[in-house]
Amino acid sequence: MVSSVDVAKLAGVSQATVSRVLNNPEKVNAPTLEKVKAAIQQLNYRPNAAARSLISRKSGIIALFCGQLDEPDNAEFANKAVMNAQQKGYTVEIHIQNPDKPESVFDAILDTQAEGIMMGPLIIKGTAVEYLKTSGIPYIFCGSGGGQEGITVGMDNHAAGKLAAEYISSLEPETVGWLGGDPSDLRLQERYQGFVEAMKESGVRIVKVTGDLEDIELPFTAMMAQKQRPDVIVAATDSFGIFALDFLYDYGYAVPEDVAVLGIGNSRQSAMNYLSLSSIGLPDDMDMVAEAFDRLSAMIENNGQGSRGSADVNPVVYERRTTKTY
């Protein structure tokens, strides 16, 4: 590894001068500047980030935690988050949750040298919040429903469930099927809670199936095999909604005539013409991630002292062809 000392030797100056060339070029004479720059070029010198951050106490790193990127929602989120961070000059360290051992990803919180932590859409366990608190690093939840535990920016999941219930009431269903995800996912719990609470009044029958996307086929098949099968399906996320669409297509159902389907999340995919999945989501003009990022970087700059408090956004209905015939 070539260090600034090597550069100094070659240029015939002191190491301090090399450092100056790098950080305060205006404070060094033109001729020396050239000499040093030449030496840097020649040796292909690159300052050591570790040494730098050792002294500056700044890593320039943001840690991003999120769920698997093969879920389009998560990918879309991660993309926005990374682009935002890059644009602000941060480097992003990404940590993806393994569904088989969801806790293990949080160990990274203990080791990371990041200046800020962005908790994206993933399954939050208690340890996570605990680790976050003790880490002393500014953090923010965005779309993960960290809930009361910290700063949150995201869709109000409870309201989303409620809105789903209100909307499908207009469809006058006899039996409603809830197609959920991992039951330990707080976001989905909240959605379901809001949903049942709002449904309670109507007295409509609710059947529920939960599980990972990979393991949902069997229980869902069982749900559809019942005599009183649902004529409206509310999916905890758009991915499950798409799964349902796929399934219904395969089994010969007409959507929405036989069974209507409503997703939650309003992912980009759901809006595509060939899918046209009705969904509950954030208003179009809202960029949650950017909002969260602004808050996070403010916290970093203010030395961890940010405006605590959550900023949950009320969702709206995107009515498409899986709930309505035109």
Which positions lie near a copy of itself, rule CB under 8 A?
Answer: 1, 44, 46, 48-51, 53-54, 57, 59, 61, 64, 68-70, 72, 75-76, 78-79, 82-83, 86, 91-96, 98, 105, 108, 110-113, 134-136, 242, 245-246, 249-250, 268-269, 272-275
Which tokens belong to 221? 């098949």
Burial profile 198-208: b = 16 or more Cβ within 10 angstroms, e = fewer: bbeeeebebbb
Q: Nearer Cβ to DNA, position 63 or 261? A: 63
Q: SS3 of 224, please?
A: helix
Query: Which ranges in 12-90 belong to alpha helices (H)?
Result: 15-23, 30-43, 49-56, 72-87
Q: Nearer Cβ to a copy of itself, position 117 or 163? A: 117
Tell me which of DNA, a copy of itself, none is bound by residue 28, counting a contact when its beta carbon lies within the kind-specific cut-off of 5 to 8 angstroms: DNA
Q: Nearer Cβ to DNA, position 11 or 224? A: 11
User: 175: which strand partners?
Assistant: 205
Q: How far apart are CA 265 and CA 288, in angstroms?
A: 13
Query: Could you say whether residue 89 binds DNA (CB under 7 A)?
Result: no
Q: What angle (nearest 5°) sits at the alpha carbon of residue 98, between those of residues 95 and 100?
A: 160
Query: Could you say whether residue 110 binds DNA (CB under 7 A)?
Result: no
Tell me which of DNA, a copy of itself, none is bound by residue 135, counting a contact when its beta carbon lies within the kind-specific cut-off of 5 to 8 angstroms: a copy of itself
Query: Could you say whether residue 32 binds DNA (CB under 7 A)?
Result: yes
Cα separation values, 279 from 83, 236, 241, 285, 321, Å: 26, 10, 9, 16, 10
Task: Tell me the one-letter amino acid at 85.
Answer: A
Among 9, 37, 52, 125, binds DNA (CB under 7 A): 52
Q: Nearer Cβ to a copy of itself, position 98 or 307? A: 98
Residues that bind DNA (CB under 7 A): 1, 3-5, 12-17, 19-20, 22-23, 27-29, 31-32, 45-48, 51-52, 54-57
